[in-house]
């Protein structure tokens, strides 16, 4: 029915017009967004000019930005994952402060596992391989390597804010207002 329709995702905003998530950016396929429009769960804020869907009874443009009609609270605790540790630490080694792509990052136990350190938000930090090797299984005070920030469980809000500084590769022009306006106002 639609050529290349998979290339027409909609940016999904919460009912407060902020993206449901920044990293990864909340995007729905055109099928999901069209369905949500028919179910009256979302308002359409912007549409793709060049593409329409046809049903027996109507023709509609594919939405490019939609907002949920009902607010979804986003205050759940963030998952303790490798990626979220990197995101909390802004993809920067906590010892030398270099920013690196994720495949060049590792994570380090501040109190080494060999000395009883646990794998928790409070004891795991982002590290580059050289710093990780250097620190090995030494205590921070033994080798004088202390993480830049004391590691702790981040709030979802903190992760969202960190994610905002890392825009995805592809941004439809109609999304920009919803992604960067408040950032620029703060700046």
Nearer to Zn ion, 67 or 131 (CB): 131
Question: What are the φ/ψ torsions at residue 117 (nearest 5 degrees)?
Answer: -65, 140
CB of 97 to Zn ion, least distance (A): 7
Q: Which stretch binds Zn ion (CB under 5 A): 62-70, 90-98, 111-119, 153-161?
A: 90-98
Q: Does the N-terminal peptide bond of residue 157 adopt cis geometry, omega within 30 degrees of 0?
A: no
Among 27, 93, 159, 179, binds Zn ion (CB under 5 A): 93
Q: Which stretch binds Zn ion (CB under 5 A): 22-30, 72-80, 86-94, 137-145?
A: 86-94
CB of 128 to Zn ion, least distance (A): 4
Q: What 3-state DSSP class applies to 67? A: strand
Q: Total residues contacting Zn ion (rule CB under 5 A)?
A: 5
Q: CA–CA separation, 42 vs 14, rounded Å?
A: 9
Closest CA to 51 of 28, 31, 70: 31
Site for Zn ion in 101-130 (CB under 5 A): 128
CB of 134 to Zn ion, least distance (A): 8
Site for Zn ion in 125-154 (CB under 5 A): 128, 131
Q: What 3-state DSSP class applies to 32? A: helix
H or E stretch including 59? Answer: strand 59-68
| CB 156 within 8 Å of CB 75 | yes
Residues 6+ apart with CB under 8 A from 149: 89, 94
96: contact with Zn ion by CB under 5 A? yes
Q: Which stretch binds Zn ion (CB under 5 A): 88-96, 103-111, 157-165, 166-174?
A: 88-96
Q: Which two tokens stand for residue 41?
A: 């769960």
Among 30, 95, 175, 178, binds Zn ion (CB under 5 A): 95
Q: Which residues bind Zn ion (CB under 5 A)?
A: 93, 95-96, 128, 131
């Amino acid at each position: 029915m639609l050529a290349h329709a998979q290339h027409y995702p909609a940016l999904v905003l919460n009912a407060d017009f902020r993206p449901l998530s920044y990293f990864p950016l909340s995007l729905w396929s055109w099928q999901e967004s069209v369905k949500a429009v028919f179910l009256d769960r979302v308002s359409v804020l912007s549409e793709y000019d060049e593409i329409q869907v046809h049903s027996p009874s109507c023709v509609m443009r594919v939405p490019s930005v939609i907002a949920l009609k009902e607010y979804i609270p986003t205050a759940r605790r963030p998952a303790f994952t490798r990626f979220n540790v990197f995101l909390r630490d802004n993809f920067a080694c906590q010892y030398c402060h270099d920013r690196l792509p994720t495949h060049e990052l590792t994570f380090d136990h501040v109190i080494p596992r060999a000395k009883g350190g646990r794998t928790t938000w409070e004891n795991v930090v982002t590290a580059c391989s050289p710093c990780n090797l250097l620190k090995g299984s030494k205590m921070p005070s033994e080798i004088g390597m202390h993480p830049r920030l004391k590691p702790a469980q981040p709030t979802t809000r903190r992760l969202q804010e960190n994610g905002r500084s890392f825009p995805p590769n592809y941004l439809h022009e109609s999304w920009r207002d919803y992604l960067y306006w408040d950032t620029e106002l703060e700046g």
